[in-house]
Copies of this chain bind each other. A is one copy, B any other.
Amino acid sequence: MAVNGGEVAVALDVGGTGMKCALVGADGAVRHAERHPTDAERGPDAVVETILTVAEGLAGKARADGLTPTALGIVVPGVVDEARGVAVWSANVGFRDVPLRELAARRLGLPTALGHDVRAGGLAEARLGAGRDAGHVLFVAIGTGIAAAHVVASSAATGAHGAAGELGHILVRPDGPICGCGQRGCLEAVASASSVARRYAELIGPTSDGGSAADAGPGRTMVTAAEVAARAAAGEDLATRVWREAVEALADGLATGQALYDVETIVLGGGLAQAGAGLFDPLRVALRDRLTFHREPRLVPAVLGDEAGCLGAALLALDKLETP
């Protein structure tokens, strides 16, 4: 399967619970993939050590297979300063000002890029995935949280401090629920997968039998956002209401994104985007309703799944070889 002597990038997408890792050719083809637990509760030093060990292992695996590892790409969540190669603030992983690029470059002796997981995922979708034919792409990942990447001419905007694209933390409902960031009414607090699940649980209340829902604790019914979407599609009133609130808020957020970025294509990824037509059909209508003089962007589902971040890490590594 492996091409003898082929050059590959070593790529790691480090999340709060697991790391997705791969060897990726210059053509974007995945030659080998593996996953490891992050075990973030061990603290940042232990996580860094695991990252470096896994990366070394991947480079060794490449060589054993007759491949040549030429560059390393690592992406992490949170605030990432790509220019300095520092993981500034990653709550899930426990990083705070970790100079991960230098640590990894020193250990492996390879040109190394450090990136942001959602920006890397957006880069991969824009170059290899659902945004392939567009010069201006907004990638929006909707899962536990909501984050975005604005990709223009195959480059994801980082911002001045590595914090661009925080679409989850724009105000959409001034009197809305408190967000994890401390503000009130952020898009993420209304329309993330976890917010949809929480809102439905709140409304259905502790005394309901909850139908087929799993019981999440004493007297509390908890169903996933996907199940809320399915119940809405089946015509259940409460689910329909919660789903519509989320779709309306998402449309407000995407309309704001379009007003500021003016893209050709919006790619939706993450768990919530799996809802398919149940999300995309009403969201397209709601977005269209909000656009006046702005052109309507194409609104499409991501196609690379949860490998997007890892592929993006490989792209960042390969880019490093072109502009060292």
| Interface contact A161-B260, CB-CB below 8 Å | no
Within 231-279 of A, Cβ neighbours of B (below 8 Å) are at: 252, 255-257, 259-264
The stretch from A35-43, A55-63, A287-295, A310-318 touching chain B is A287-295
Known: A165-B260, A259-B166, A260-B257. A252 touches B159 (CB 8 A): no
Copies in the assembly, this chain: 2
Which residues in B have their C-beta under 8 angstroms from that of A152? 157
Known: A160-B136, A293-B79, A293-B163. A261 touches B260 (CB 8 A): yes
State in angstroms the CA–CA spacing of A136 and B158 once bound together: 10
Q: B residues within 8 A CB of A162?
A: 262
Contact stretch, chosen from A67-75, A121-129, A167-175, A215-223: A167-175
Contact B136 A295 (CB under 8 A): no
Across the interface, do B295 and A260 meet the contact criterion of CB distance under 8 Å? no
Output the least CB separation between A167 and chain B (Å).
Answer: 7
Interface residues on chain A, size class: 35 or more
Contact assessment for A161 and B255 in the assembled complex, using a CB-CB cutoff below 8 Å: no
How distant is the Cα of A255 from the Cα of B260 in the complex, in angstroms? 13
* Residue in B closest to A169 when the chains form the complex, CB atoms: B259
Is B260 within 8 A of A260, CB to CB?
Answer: yes
Chain A interface SS verdict (over half): loop
In the complex, the answer to whether A256 meets B160 with C-beta atoms within 8 Å is: no
Interface contact A89-B293, CB-CB below 8 Å: yes
Q: A279-313 interface mask toward B, CB cutoff 8 Å, 1 = contact, 0 = none?
A: 00000000000101111010000000000000000
Inter-chain contact A181/B79, CB cutoff 8 Å: no
Give 1 or 0 for each of A127-146: 1 = CB within 8 Å of chain B CB: 00000001110000000000
* CB nearest neighbor in B for A168: B259
Q: Which of A163, A260, A292 has the most CB of B within 10 A?
A: A260
A-B contact pairs, 19 of them (CB 8 A): A89-B293, A157-B261, A158-B262, A160-B262, A160-B263, A160-B295, A163-B262, A163-B294, A164-B260, A166-B259, A166-B260, A169-B292, A170-B255, A170-B260, A171-B255, A174-B174, A181-B292, A182-B292, A260-B261
Chain A interface residues toward B at CB < 8 A: 79, 89, 134-136, 148, 150, 152, 157-167, 169-174, 181-183, 252, 255-257, 259-264, 290, 292-295, 297
